[in-house]
Structure 1
Amino acid sequence: MGRFLKKSVLTSAIATGALVALAAPAAGASSQAGAKDFASQCAMCHAHTSGARSGIGPNLFGVVGRKAGSLAGYSYSPAMKSAGFDWDAQRLDHYLAKPQQVVHGNKMPFAGIGNAAERAEIIAYLSTLK
């Protein structure tokens, strides 16, 4: 029993650590590096300045805190329109990692960003766009 309990406590500690890491993916990330990452990964489809017209994808200015699928004037997929959540750092992290798993049926033709540090930098940058 002692061995099982130790393993169970260790598993719980690891899981808790993973949840804490997911809760604040942008903590300590550089928004300056994120601006460069955004330029190379996102800007070809997404505008990111106040009042700019959306491109292939919606304008991401003010996306942090915005309800998914709600930017006026952009034609979202039915899946994104009905997603029912606000974009926060954790949701953005998951979405940027695997867009189709977070909002199955969305129309963004992007496989995702596997590098967690790069996602955190992009989220840090997006958080500055207010």
Structure 2
Amino acid sequence: MRILALGLVMSALLAAPAFAQGDAAAGAAVFKKCQSCHAVGEGAKNKVGPELNDLFGRVAGSVPDFKYSQAMIDAGAGGLTWTPETLHEFLTKPKDFVKGTKMSFPGLKDPADVDNLVAYLETFSTAPAEAPAQ
């Protein structure tokens, strides 16, 4: 019986998402670093950066009426889709993840801040924050 229980626990751990579930309320505070360039919520419009509603599952560089860098357009054409994993990498060091992006933000150093921001952004998405089926 113990072996079965251990097997179930291990299966659950291996099936868990790659990143810890964040705290959306804490993510709202982290988003304050983003809001001068990005908007979310009802009536969100593009600013210096694109609006971030329905971000999960979105192909990079695909918000209508936003002028992306060619690097971001190319990343989307190459298959970059926003998921918790890709956002984690991008938000840690944007210019390293998409070389040539015009996003000037240097990145978030604390992984918990990224987890929380992802949880917050998920509240503005109709798609679940998971990788799309291939």
Q: Distance in 2 between matches of 1:99 and 1:125?
A: 19
Report the CA distance between 1:29 and its aligned residue: 1.2
Pick the aligned partner of 2:27 from 6, 9, 34: 34
Pick the aligned partner of 1:123 from 98, 114, 118: 118
What is the number of equivalent residue pairs in this alignment?
Answer: 107
Q: Which has the higher helix share?
A: 1
Alignment of 1:62-77 (within 5 A): 62-77=54-69
Corresponding letter in the other structure for 2:45: R
1:15 maps to what in 2? none
Q: CA RMSD in A?
A: 1.3
TM-score, L = length of structure 2: 0.75
Secondary structure in 2 matching 1:123 = helix
1:54 maps to what in 2? 46
Answering whether residue 105 of structure 2 is matched by residue 110 of structure 1, we say yes
1:13 maps to what in 2? none
Give the unaligned 5+ runs of structure 1.
1-19
Pick the aligned partner of 2:94 from 88, 92, 99: 99
Judged with a 3 Å threshold, the aligned counterparts in structure 2 of structure 1 residues 85 and 50 are, in CA distance, closer, same or farther, namely farther
Corresponding letter in the other structure for 2:31: F
Q: Distance in 2 between matches of 1:50 and 1:76?
A: 22
Answering whether residue 39 of structure 2 is matched by residue 44 of structure 1, we say no
Give the unaligned 5+ runs of structure 2.
1-13, 126-134
Secondary structure in 2 matching 1:124 = helix
State the identity %: 39
